[in-house]
Amino acid sequence: MSDFQLNEVDLEQERKEILRAFKGLLRAVKTRSREQTKMIRKAFDVAVEAHKDMRRKSGEPYIYHPIAVARICAEEMGLGTTSVICALLHDTVEDTHITLQDVEDLFGVKTRTIIDGLTKIPEVFDENASIQAENFRKMILTISDDIRVVLIKLADRLHNMRTLDSMKADKQLKIASETKFLYAPLAHRLGLYSVKSELDDLAFKYTDSEVYKQIESSLKSTQDVRNRFIRKFIQPLKEALQFEGYVFDMKVRTKSISSIWKKMQTKEIPFEEVYDLFAIRIIVDTPIELEKSDCWRIYSIVTDFYQPSPERLRDWISTPRANGYESLHTTVMSPQGKWVEVQIRSKRMDEIAERGLAAHYKYKEDKSEDSKFDRWIAEIRELMDNPELSAMDFVNEFKMNLFSDEIYVFTPKGELRVLPTGATILDFAYDIHTDIGDTCIGAKVNMKLVPLSYQLQNGDQIEIITSEKQKPNEDWLRMVASARAKQKIKSSLNEERKAISLDGKEILERKFKQFNIRFIGENLTTLERFYDMPSTGELYFRLAKGKIDLSRLREMENVNGILQIEKKNAQPKDKHELDVYPKINKKEDVLIIGEDFKNIQYRLAKCCNPIPGDLVFGFITTNDGINIHRNNCVNAEHLQSKLAYRCVKSKWKSQKLESHLVSLRLIGIDDVGIVNKITEIISNELNVNMKSISFEANDGLFEGKISVLVYDREHLDQLTQKFELIEGVKRIERWHTEGEEENLDDTVEDVLS
């Protein structure tokens, strides 16, 4: 068979596969009329034709991606025909000859609006941080117009994460960090728990692959034992519920790998001690008016068999979470002495928990009711309406609004308010009304007088005290936890700043008149440069505050009323702009650690102390050359997601042996001579130099912190394996002192300047 014939066969096979994938999509769209089926087919034909010459990094035809995204929308989010059509077309305007007008002509205005929201803003000539932020802001802008834009974008991101293996390592890290930073919290806020968990896990797989594989392996090896335990645990519950006549379903939800790791980190425990690796979910099919009573009756049956923990009862049926989540959670003790989480909910509640928004609006009885979720959308709209918010500021404020933990507090009249955990009196005051926030001087919480900085607790009843003489100040920004309060305070401060700036403008006008200088834009720009001011507004403000010496105007030349600065050989403010960027070809260059890389200064970041063998990347700082960070560094998510344009691929040069400082923490059972055994291994067996050592023993347990010099990751692994053989040592981990996080020197102003 000739190559030509072979290619023909391959293409024919591909066409059949594509058609099979499309039929699978149609099966996933459960409710559709004949007319809707025609429109989906039309969108498919347009997408196939538009993407016909395109392939993904994996080599497969590009059309598989929009089909997969559309299927996620239909199957996993429960979205309808319009969303499926938009998902099929979501990349056409950005990547092909199709225009927004073409989309409108073929599919209508609504489809055009959604596709427009999904189309990225074209990148400008210079790569900069705000492009990514602008794209995110553009997408979020559509929340108040059409929430489907965000849902389709999440489906798009989920499929990209599922197929991330075909990308280069540095791209994987960037996309995974961005997902963890913005998209997973967004999915959580929209009530898409399964999507959120999968995004978190997939991001974790690429940002900390070794730990991911270890936990994945541990879950597989303990699966059979876990299944036997679950069968034994649920058997009596099943029989009791059937006897009572309930129509129900029981599911077992295994905890996601990323949340297992989070629990291990926060509780400082090994995998074996994470008790809630799974949760038993009881889903009862019952009418909406009986939901609450039936869930509590089932709770009563569960606690007849197993002893509950009073501290672990969560009633999200009486007070649902802000994203619409409703469920009754309890943790009970099994006969084997293990704690087990049991979640009790109705079929309606389960659909809202799994599918989030689509189900929320499907079940919403009164379409005009102001649900907590709709209130959150209103807050997002408020953020949009602030013209002074830069793209990066917007992303930061929006991220604040994605709080996952909430507290429930009450007004003096008993009205329930939901605020983020850590909210203060000021957050509550601004939640009531802007004027109340601006004039707040304190409050009575549960009839006791408290200051503005008091952190609210669940169930607090708050009465705000105001004064007409009060006004916001800069310190208030450090006292609030909600994006709404922060924005309102900034807005008030800006109004005050504008009034002060007007005084500064008048001062400058008088001074210009005195020196015969014309009050025109050209002179103001010259003055900004001369006094090194970021804007005219800042110049006016500092003038009014007496921070600028206008007598220095004599140092400039006045030519017919036009100011001129004498030319000086000024050094650029940020050396990295001249010294680093031109020397790095971002597409090809890799920083080889251990070589003289184009005379660029680099150093190992103190926040994670990378050593040869660790997966690393370089970050271009503003005045300190390049910092080398581990991929799983505490700062990696921030750098890779928000400042990816300043990250460079890096790898270790293996030839040169150099020792690197690594800190280890050892935890175990205290025993006589255990310190001797540890120090003996360090000094005698591996000839490793020890820089510091400290041990603490408490109630039969010990914790040791050791700093040693090793050559590379392999050398470190040999050392930790020796430690693991010591009887009594239960856990060993890399460690750095708290508060040792890198000073990134990257405020929003620095990034955007």
Fill in the DSSP letter of residue 574.
-
User: Could you tell me the CA-to-CA distances from 214 to 220, 221, 260, 275 in Å, in that order?
Assistant: 10, 11, 12, 17
- Beta partners for residue 47, in sequence order: none
220: Cβ contacts below 8 Å, ≥ 6 apart: none
Q: What token pair was written down for 427? A: 């957050």
Angle subtended by helix axes 64-71 and 3-28, to nearest 10:
10
Q: What token pair was written down for 315? A: 């009633």
Q: What is the C-alpha to C-alpha distance for residues 276 and 331, in angstroms, rounded to an integer? A: 9
Backbone phi, then psi, for 456, in 5-degree steps?
-75, 150
Q: What token pair was written down for 22? A: 């499309």
Cβ burial, residue 740 (10 Å; 0-12/13-18/19+): middle
Q: Annotated catalytic, 94? A: yes
User: Could you tell me the CA-to-CA distances from 126 to 132, 579, 580, 611, 749 in Å, in that order?
Assistant: 13, 16, 15, 33, 17
Q: Which helix (H) or strand (E) holds 465?
A: strand 462-466
- Beta partners for residue 248, in sequence order: 284
Q: What token pair was written down for 44? A: 């498919």
Q: What is the C-alpha to C-alpha distance for residues 284 and 234, in angstroms, rounded to an integer? A: 15
Give counts: helices (H), strands (E), the chain: 30, 22
DSSP 440-458: EEEEEETTEEE-TTPBP-T
Q: Are 258 and 204 in contact (CB under 8 A)?
A: yes
Q: What is the C-alpha to C-alpha distance for residues 404 and 395, in angstroms, rounded to an integer? A: 16
397: Cβ contacts below 8 Å, ≥ 6 apart: 383, 389, 483, 486, 487
Q: Are 102 and 57 in contact (CB under 8 A)?
A: no
Backbone phi, then psi, for 43, in 5-degree steps?
-65, -40
Q: What is the C-alpha to C-alpha distance for residues 40 and 74, in angstroms, rounded to an integer? A: 12
Overall size of the chain counted in residues:
753
Q: What is the C-alpha to C-alpha distance for residues 613 and 632, in angstroms, rounded to an integer? A: 13
Q: Are 386 and 491 in contact (CB under 8 A)?
A: yes
Active-site residue (options: 94, 506, 557, 577)? 94
Q: What is the C-alpha to C-alpha distance for residues 424 and 437, in angstroms, rounded to an integer? A: 11
Residue labelled with tokens 């050094």: 571
Backbone phi, then psi, for 214, in 5-degree steps?
-60, -45
Active-site residue (options: 14, 60, 95, 703)? 95
Backbone phi, then psi, for 278, in 5-degree steps?
-145, 165
Q: What token pair was written down for 143? A: 């929340």
Give the 3-state secondary structure of residue 470: coil
> How many angstroms separate the first and last alpha carbons of the chain?
61
The catalytic residue positions are 94-95
